[in-house]
Amino acid sequence: MYQFCFLLLLLTYINSFPKFLDKDSIFKKSNNTKDNNNISKNKDSSDIYLTLINKKHKLPDDWLERVELVPAKNSQGKEFLVEKQALEHFNSLRSKLLEQGIDIELDSTYRSVERQKELWKEFEEIYGRDYCEKYAAVPGYSEHHTGLAIDVCLIKDGRVIDDNDDMIAEVEIFSKIHAILSDYGFILRYMKGKEHITEYSYEPWHFRYVGIKAAKKIYQKGITLEEYLGAV
């Protein structure tokens, strides 16, 4: 009798054993973990702040659905649109520079593809196509379409300095600005000595928001966004 009960209990236990070691459940858990890892990787790789726009890489067609552009105004009353996080960090950067006696202002930010077409046509009529191809971005291929690029001007002794040559001459001021850009998530987009990579001449006034982590790596290595992304 006792033996029969023992065998009955043993058979009951064996029949229930697969429920604890259900192969499908194990693989589902494993696959879920894999999917979660893929999601994380996708988030990293799809980071809008690292989107590359240059003469070879076009603005994604759905870009405006992926970013939040917010209005901004400089001290001269000129109005702009800037990506929300980029603007917040720019305002912090500007405040820090003011503590050092350096005043920068928004000069050019978001620009629509349609506006770029108008500018291209104007420049081509005035300067010719060769000039446009060398110095201007083809509509759809400008960083200013992103809302993440910011051109600044300087306010010095109450005077606005926005001429390109005049700003390039302000070496000391811009060296101080460039030294802290990465602390606020910005990089100097068109560096001196990297023209063969960016295909643009040196622009000390053109900053690009990429996020603090990436900005620090790019600054410390002294490389371009193209090099950082392996797109050279």
Annotated catalytic residues are 203
- With tokens 């006792």, the residue in question is 2
Closest CA to 149 of 43, 61, 69: 69
Burial degree of 81 (CB within 10 A; 0-12, 13-18, 19+): middle
Dig out the tokens for 142 from the structure. 């400008």
Determine the Cα–Cα distance for residues 186 and 196; give it in Å rounded to an integer.
21
Write out the H or E segment, with its range, that includes residue 164. helix 164-168
